[in-house]
Structure 1
Amino acid sequence: MKLLKTTVWALLIGLSFQSCAKKAEEKKEETSTEQKSESREIWTKEQAKEWYGKKDWIVGADFLPSTAINQLEMFQEASFDTATINKELGWAEGIGMNTMRVYLHDLLWQQDSTGFLKRLDTFLTIADKHKIKPVFVIFDSCWDPFPKLGTQRAPKPGVHNSGWVQSPGYDALKDSTQYPRLERYVKGVVKKFADDDRVLAWDIWNEPDNTNNSSYGKIELPNKVDYVLPLMKKAFGWARSVNPEQPLTAGVWAGDWTSHETLKPIEKASIDESDVVTFHNYEDAKDFEKRIKQLQQYDRPIICTEYMSRGNGSFFETSLPIAKKYNVGAINWGLVDGKSQTIYPWESWKKTYTSEPPLWFHDIFRKDGTPYKKAEVDLIKQLTARK
């Protein structure tokens, strides 16, 4: 009898554990379903236009404080320079700019996710003081494919962007076991600021198929685009899964945009996954206008997230009025001459420069806040002035 009672109790306990386990699994599935249902869709054209219609004309620069050589130096704790950021964003505000395009990095999350988010919040507080809403760039395929945390190297004299680094780097891009880490980074950053009105937009991947042939091409990952394309699509999904109120985008920057059929697969993905259309153009005014007209076929808001390379025929006085004519947002490369050394042209990787070039390639201000060309800042002020 005692043995029978023991057996019955064991069965009851077993059934109870099974029931609890089943309920836990059902709860887990319910939670998963709820999370999936919260993941928003790509915006409709109407949603995108409604968002854009509530914004002033978007004008700004790709921003790195003059004291930082790259994204890591900008945001690592030891080199996070709030005084310079505050000063230089004040100069941007002074000429009517209302956004800055700012690059992040997956290694910053890996190093210190809590501290990184706090510094991002601090940056947003400073930017908000200057009425500037940043576009945050999540991943980037440009320049050095071997990023390293810690103290960053000094600039190579006279060389354009001699210390900028890719995110993810070569090793992480080819190693799918690191993708869960990248997923945590994307979701963690976007979720933290998903309903923060201080953030303008999320740029998922900068120039995703850039293989840096004129600088690091010989040491790039072979078939790099084969790795980037599926990961970029995943990254869009990760960002949407936390339901951001801001638009997601990835810009097209090279190729034939005549029709959707003429786009390369990675360009199609960039357009198809984006809530608003973004692009780069460092050519003359005629080409700038042609590109805008080509992208109008998608019937979505358009923002140029990189332009203005004086040595390449792209100028404020020629491109910016066209952007305003078509109500296209305009974000030029570079605000202040600094450690990125983007006053030097791309060819500085091949040609030696021993002094300041007679014609600056990028950037608007010198380190003391005086403009490189007063006529340029006067034009920007004039075009951004509220009537």
Structure 2
Amino acid sequence: MTLRCRCLTFALLLVACASQALAQSRWTPEKATTWRQQTGWLVGANFGPAYAINQLEMWQADTFDLAAIDRELGWAEDLGMNSMRVFLHHLLWEQDKEGLLKRMDQLLEVAEKHKIRIMFVLFDSVWDPNPKLGKQREPKQGLHNSGWVQSPGAQDLINRERHRLLEEYTKGVIARFKDDPRVVVWDLWNEPDNHNENSYGRNGLKQEPPGKMQITEELLRKTFEWARSVNPTQPLTSGLWVKNRALAPERMIPIERIQIEQSDIISFHSYGNQAEMKQWVAAMKQYKRPLSCTEYMARPMGSTFDPILADLKAEGVDVYNWGFVQGKTNTIYPWDSWKKPYAAEPPKWFHDIFRTDGTPYDVKEVEYIRSVTKGATK
């Protein structure tokens, strides 16, 4: 090889390395602000169709119901919603990656018809730590989220040989849709620091693996790296949810610091009342990036559409309430149902907006939502 060829090869290598480093860097605040200006205000719900008890039943080939999804997203469009937060699962990729990608594309096509953009969630540390493919169990009477499953589950979390699957899933899913305008945000990990002490732990099912937080911390950092290596045009995020740490940064644990330091846009969950939501927004503004409240709305706790939805719109904060249609997730029941399951419909629904036939739980509430979202879908 001539000296000139060696110099040219070295120069090309430097360019390639620089391009890779640029692709793997967090968005600047200016780039995030430009994204917000182009995207506009996002308003919607955490969407699980009524037919599915969890992510697996929603997406597996033998239970995936595009007609039901189409019908329910039509109700969302009628409410003026323009986005939905939708959960995936890594076992779906292992089971049938081409089938999963095809069904994701079908959902996106239907969502686009209803002027709805999708925020996909890749991993989730909440509820059942032992997910299994195939037929999912039936809901337990009066029990909130009796069948929702974690991704990765306990065994795939602690078995490092399985982490290669998590990497392939992350890169593969994002690469397929990284330039797709129908996908608006990638939420990489839902509540990664959740111990589930209020559900399975207190019911004698102590199945959370030892060292969960340490392994999750390691994987969360890697997940951001894997996602960035694909260079998606959409922002990456993972949301804070523990108020006493989020509102006092000096108390944050390492997982939360990764979430803040690596997210292109800042997301958070708040199921508190209007005053608490205002505290969250004020605290999150210090990071000088677009904000997204990816979970809220628990009626008995004072987290209600009126007035919180209008407050967040005025602040320019994207907002997704938990739950949309009453269904197998049983999220009309409160979290305390894990201590004592309900024998009948609760006097006040915890989450969700519509009954299974599309009639509103509260007509006045729906009218209020429409009054706030007016003009959000264009």
> TM exceeds 0.5?
yes
Of 229, 240, 251 in structure 2, the residue corresponding to residue 252 of structure 1 is: 240
Q: Which runs of 5+ in 1 are unaligned?
A: 1-25
CA distance in 2, matches of 1:34, 1:176: 30
CA distance in 1, matches of 2:178, 2:74: 25
Q: Using the TM superposition, give the Cα deviation of residue 77 of structure 1 relative to its aligned residue in structure 2, in angstroms.
A: 0.4
CA distance in 2, matches of 1:259, 1:154: 41
Letter in 1 for 2:132: K
Query: For the aligned residues, what is the CA RMSD?
Result: 2.0
Deviation per residue, 1:207-250 (Å, 9 max, x gap): 00111112222221123111101100100100010000000000
Q: Is the 8 A contact 2:187 2:238 kept in 1?
A: yes
Deviation per residue, 1:335-362 (Å, 9 max, x gap): 0000001000001111131111110000
Of 273, 289, 302 in structure 1, the residue corresponding to residue 278 of structure 2 is: 289
Q: What's the % identity of the aligned pairs?
A: 51
Deviation per residue, 1:37-75 (Å, 9 max, x gap): 563311011110110011232110000000000000001
Give the corresponding residue for 1:239: 227
Of 319, 322, 329 in structure 2, the residue corresponding to residue 333 of structure 1 is: 322
Give the corresponding residue for 2:73: 89
Give the corresponding residue for 1:346: 335
1:1-387 equivalences under 5 Å are 33=17, 36-37=20-21, 39-217=23-201, 218-254=206-242, 255-386=244-375
CA distance in 2, matches of 1:295, 1:32: 36
Letter in 1 for 2:101: L
Q: Which runs of 5+ in 2 are unaligned?
A: 1-9
Deviation per residue, 1:100-139 (Å, 9 max, x gap): 0000000000000111100100010011110000100010
Q: Using the TM superposition, give the Cα deviation of residue 35 of structure 1 relative to its aligned residue in structure 2, in angstroms.
A: 7.6
CA distance in 2, matches of 1:237, 1:32: 17
CA distance in 1, matches of 2:284, 2:53: 33
Give the corresponding residue for 2:5: none
CA distance in 1, matches of 2:88, 2:97: 12
Q: Is the 8 A contact 2:305 2:365 kept in 1?
A: yes
Letter in 1 for 2:232: P
CA distance in 2, matches of 1:121, 1:293: 37
Answer with 1 or 2: which has the greater Rg: 1
**Match of 1:54, SS?**
helix
Q: Is the 8 A contact 1:195 1:244 kept in 2?
A: yes
Q: Using the TM superposition, give the Cα deviation of residue 370 of structure 1 relative to its aligned residue in structure 2, in angstroms.
A: 0.6
Q: Is the 8 A contact 2:154 2:207 kept in 1?
A: no
Q: TM-score, normalised by structure 2?
A: 0.93
**Match of 1:118, SS?**
helix
Letter in 2 for 1:335: F
Runs of 4+ residues deviating >6 angstroms: 29-32
Q: Using the TM superposition, give the Cα deviation of residue 318 of structure 1 relative to its aligned residue in structure 2, in angstroms.
A: 2.5
